[in-house]
Amino acid sequence: MKPPAFDSVRSWASYEGAARELIHLFKYERVRPLGGWFARRMSGLGDLRADVVIPVPLARVRERERGFNQSLEVARILARRNELPLATKCLSRLKETSSQAGLTGAERRQNLQGAFRAKNVKGSAVLLVDDVFTTGATAAACAGALKRGGANAVHVLTVARAELRAHAALSATVCSPTASLAHLNQVAALPANGGWA
């Protein structure tokens, strides 16, 4: 299997315990101020290495149901705090896709085949923002579209990442379901080819 199109992926927390509960409040209970709360903590992950911030586009049906795109909420504040331009029209969905929940990595990749198109990114280093990195299928599909559109680099930044416990960089406390929010604010800088599929 070929490596994903993105150049790096970083996540603020492990997708479990308190972090998972907060993300669910944000996405499904519409506690929108959490977008800024997440963005402030993600800003502490160091050099963002980007010319432009681009959120992962949400399927129209889900955006209508939810009332907002959670990735855009985070990306908007992240861009402002780091004095980077936010581009909401450079990456778009070409087709509606079924929910990724419950799908295997292979099924997720198939579901997203040809789902995204990019424009006006030639020569740019892109910071691609999403809420959760699960198998990497969404990030890879978006990054592939951005690279085909001429982006020089795509760095993925998410609120949380599933299965961070497999990476020795995190302590058992951070990955514990009972971890405090203070402990969750630790960096998880992970290579693009590590456990993405």
How would residue 11 be classed by pLDDT, with cut points 50, 70 and 90?
very high
CATH number of the domain where residue 138 is located? 3.40.50
- Who has greater pLDDT, 104 or 54? 54
Mean pLDDT, rounded, of the chain: 80
- Tell me the per-residue pLDDT of 105-121, one tens digit each, with 9 for 90 and over: 566 556 666 779 999 99
- How many domains does the chain divide into? 1
> Would the pLDDT of 171 be above 60?
no
Does residue 196 fall inside a structural domain? no
Query: What is the mean predicted confidence (pLDDT) over 20-24?
Result: 95
Query: What is the mean predicted confidence (pLDDT) over 118-131?
Result: 97
Say what angle helices 17-28 and 70-81 make with each other, to 10 degrees.
110
Does residue 39 fall inside a structural domain? yes
- Who has greater pLDDT, 174 or 160? 160
pLDDT at site 91: 97
Residues near 171 by Cβ (< 8 Å), separated by ≥ 6? 186
pLDDT at site 146: 97
Helix (H) or strand (E) holding 189: strand 188-191
pLDDT at site 106: 63
> Would the pLDDT of 170 be above 80?
no
**Are the C-beta atoms of residues 114 and 143 closer than 8 Å to each other?**
no
- Who has greater pLDDT, 56 or 197? 56
Q: Give the separation between CA 165 and CA 189, rounded to whole angstroms.
A: 13
Does residue 23 fall inside a structural domain? yes
Q: Give the separation between CA 78 and CA 94, rounded to whole angstroms.
A: 26
Does residue 1 fall inside a structural domain? no
> Would the pLDDT of 165 be above 80?
no
Does residue 157 fall inside a structural domain? yes
Does residue 2 fall inside a structural domain? no
- Tell me the per-residue pLDDT of 38-97, one tens digit each, with 9 for 90 and over: 999 999 887 788 999 999 998 888 888 889 999 999 999 999 999 999 999 999 988 666
Instruction: For residue 85, give its domain range.
Output: 8-97+104-191
pLDDT at site 140: 92
**CA angle at residue 133 from 132 to 134, to 5 degrees?**
105
Q: Give the separation between CA 143 and CA 156, rounded to whole angstroms.
A: 9
- Who has greater pLDDT, 90 or 184? 90
Written as six digits, the tokens of 182 are 């203070």
